[in-house]
Structure 1
Amino acid sequence: MQFQGKSVIITGAGKGIGRATALLLAARGAEVVAISRTQSDLDSLAQQTGGRSIAADLSVPAAAREAMARAGTCDFLVNCAGTNVLESLLEMTDAGYGTVMGINLHSALICAQEFARARIAAGGGGVIVNVTSIAGHRGFQDHVCYAASKAGLEGATRVMAKELGPHGIRVSALAPTVTMTELAAEAWSDPAKSAPMMVRHPLGRFAEAEDVARSIALLLSDDAAMITGAVLPLDGGFLAV
């Protein structure tokens, strides 16, 4: 019960990494406030965690702020909401750019802002973990907007750490490799594309959502009390070779 008495807001909690994180943190004692766009996902998650749920389209700034207001003052924030539109630079559309940047970057900044304001009003302290991607470190075909959004969030993470540190708020980013979620399956289901990527992982596999959830729990915990402003690759050694 590592997080007994603690509360955590998790965006994108309905599916994938966000859902795995909600289940893990609830199992370790945290009160989970799950934010997701799909009510049915939230309903099934609530049955498993017993936590609160808020249905919201975080791509709409006013909706993101309202969701954070409903979430209230919590100890932790995990910015896990994410999406992708597979477009090359030459095929990039305004709609695709807006969708990806709106969810992956803008909504994360809004949620972090509202979380930090509430924490400071409560006397400070707390932890933010932003889930990014190794796509912000290496160039992957058809990921131009996705890469820009994740690299942007990592840059913002360092600024947040500097600005919020005096208030006792730690901010770090976790950059997973390919993680086998529904979103990743769309991009990596073709063996011709996934096989060359797989062989560049010294551990010989892609990540599972539970792998990412455990690393998020580490960054939230007191064991990481001196970690802030960091970007932690969770990549099976991909970036090392």
Structure 2
Amino acid sequence: MSDFTGKTVIITGAGKGIGRACVELLTHRGARIVALSRTQADLDDLAAKFGATVISVDLADNAAARAAMKKAGLADALINCAGTNVLESVIDMTEEGYEQVLGINLRAALICAQEFARARISNGGGGTIVNVTSIAGHRGFVDHMAYAASKAGLEGATRVMARELGAYGIRVNAVAPTVTMTELAAKAWSEPSKRDPMIVRHPMARFAAVDDVARSIALLMSEDAPMISGAVLPVDGGFLAV
């Protein structure tokens, strides 16, 4: 089990789902957490239960995202967990839906990574970034038009970041989870007509739990992965293998 004692980790989308699971796991492993979320009640809970330093921010606002990262200060790692989805088909996609999904899932992640990297480089380099993408960037799912574009885009950006930031000792990777039963995923996959055909495509015969993803993120962040950079790790129970 990797130890993060003495490390500071910034986590976006920390209030719920995978982000919250990362807060809990990494706190238990010794890390100091800086939690970014737009929901104050979630932030208050993270501060009370895990001693996290909390920052309220709407990452859809570019200037606010930059200001929040500057407020977070120098950290050893960044986990870009913030994400959203608007279920729209190719035919029905709206400009509003596109802007909402791409703004949070891609643009905000790039801004946060940029500010993290600038701070690390100014301090001599080092550190690690893990971006949370999705198998939706690898397979075509109905009504996931903008979501798939955002996650595939973030994977491409992950490889560029790894290429450009490697010279400064900054490792950049991504995890691509399968359906992970967060509040967001429940909206898309709760109905048996959608859920059951999807589950049978998983060799491990289940969807992911948030802790499954958090543990994989911790692995990529850890000293056990010193030469892993530019990788996209599927956390999918074998879905993409078959």
Q: Separation in 2 of the partners of 1:42 and 1:51?
A: 8
Structure 1 runs of 4+ aligned residues shifted over 3 Å read none
Q: Separation in 2 of the partners of 1:112 and 1:135?
A: 22
Return the offset for 1:47. 1.2
Q: Which runs of 5+ in 2 are unaligned?
A: none
Task: Say how many residue pairs are matched.
Answer: 241
Q: Separation in 2 of the partners of 1:13 and 1:146?
A: 19
Q: Separation in 2 of the partners of 1:143 and 1:51?
A: 33
Q: Separation in 1 of the partners of 2:19 and 2:162?
A: 22
**Residue matched to 1:43:** 44
User: Residue 59 of structure 1 aligns to which amino acid in structure 2?
Assistant: A
**Residue matched to 2:220:** 219
Q: Separation in 2 of the partners of 1:186 and 1:51?
A: 29
**Residue matched to 1:57:** 58
Tell me, yes or no, if structure 1 residue 165 matches structure 2 residue 166. Answer: yes
**Residue matched to 1:97:** 98
- 1:131-150 CA distance string (max 9 Å, x none): 00000000000000000000
Return the offset for 1:90. 0.2
Tell me, yes or no, if structure 1 residue 106 matches structure 2 residue 115. Answer: no
Matched ranges for 1:54-203 at <5 A: 54-203=55-204
User: Residue 204 of structure 1 aligns to which amino acid in structure 2?
Assistant: A
Q: Separation in 2 of the partners of 1:47 and 1:34?
A: 12
Return the offset for 1:3. 0.3
**Residue matched to 1:5:** 6
Q: Secondary structure at the match of 2:172?
A: strand
Q: Secondary structure at the match of 2:84?
A: coil
Q: Separation in 1 of the partners of 2:191 and 2:137?
A: 22
Q: Secondary structure at the match of 2:224?
A: helix
User: Residue 130 of structure 1 aligns to which amino acid in structure 2?
Assistant: N
Return the offset for 1:112. 0.2
Q: Secondary structure at the match of 1:228?
A: coil
Q: Separation in 2 of the partners of 1:175 and 1:49?
A: 26
Taking only the aligned residue pairs, the percentage that are identical comes to: 71
Q: Separation in 2 of the partners of 1:133 and 1:5?
A: 30
Q: Separation in 1 of the partners of 2:84 and 2:70?
A: 23
Q: Separation in 2 of the partners of 1:225 and 1:39?
A: 36
Q: Separation in 2 of the partners of 1:214 and 1:206?
A: 15
TM-score normalised over the length of structure 2 = 0.99
TM-score normalised over the length of structure 1 = 0.99
**Residue matched to 2:20:** 19
Q: Which runs of 5+ in 1 are unaligned?
A: none
- 1:150-208 CA distance string (max 9 Å, x none): 00000000000000000000000100000000000000011000101000000010000
Q: Separation in 2 of the partners of 1:131 and 1:48?
A: 24
User: Residue 194 of structure 1 aligns to which amino acid in structure 2?
Assistant: R
Q: Secondary structure at the match of 1:142?
A: coil
Return the offset for 1:89. 0.6
Q: Separation in 2 of the partners of 1:172 and 1:52?
A: 24
